[in-house]
Amino acid sequence: MPLDAFFANHAPSRPLFDTVRAAVEAIGPAEIRVSKSQVAFRRRRAFAWAWLPGRYLHGPHAPLVLSIALRRRDPSPRWKQVVEPTPGWFMHHLELREAADVDDEVRGWLEEAWQSAAGFSRASR
């Protein structure tokens, strides 16, 4: 699915996604894979996903949710939900309402996930 088609009828979500994409691109190379339900950022494996809660939820919701896979449970109160779908991997879900939500803390989590997705540290790239 083309990226534009994914965001069709979800105009407020696209600028937020573009902010996330810019944050990932500032870290290093990552492939973008678009499916019907989400947009994944990948290296050797996926490390972050953006999805549209408006496709699934009724009532008030954030325009975009960013899910980040970390090897640890991060204690930040910013997470909407943290689950451990596989032992040792924690999926962290963050609601994004405005571009400023993608701040240094979020960029740090994205970098941590980006590093884990390739199996080596940034210093060794």
Closest CA relative to residue 31, chosen from 23, 22, 40: 40
**What is the band of 8 on the pLDDT scale with cuts at 50, 70, 90?**
very high
What does the pLDDT look like over 27-61, one tens digit per residue? Answer: 999 999 999 999 999 999 999 999 999 888 888 88
Residue 123 pLDDT > 60: no
Domain chopping of the chain, boundaries: 3-120
What does the pLDDT look like over 21-31, one tens digit per residue? Answer: 999 999 999 99
Residue 98 pLDDT > 90: yes
pLDDT mean over 104-109 = 98
Contacts of 74 (CB under 8 A, 6+ apart): 82, 90, 92, 109
Tokens 């699915």 -> residue: 1
Give residue 124's pLDDT.
39
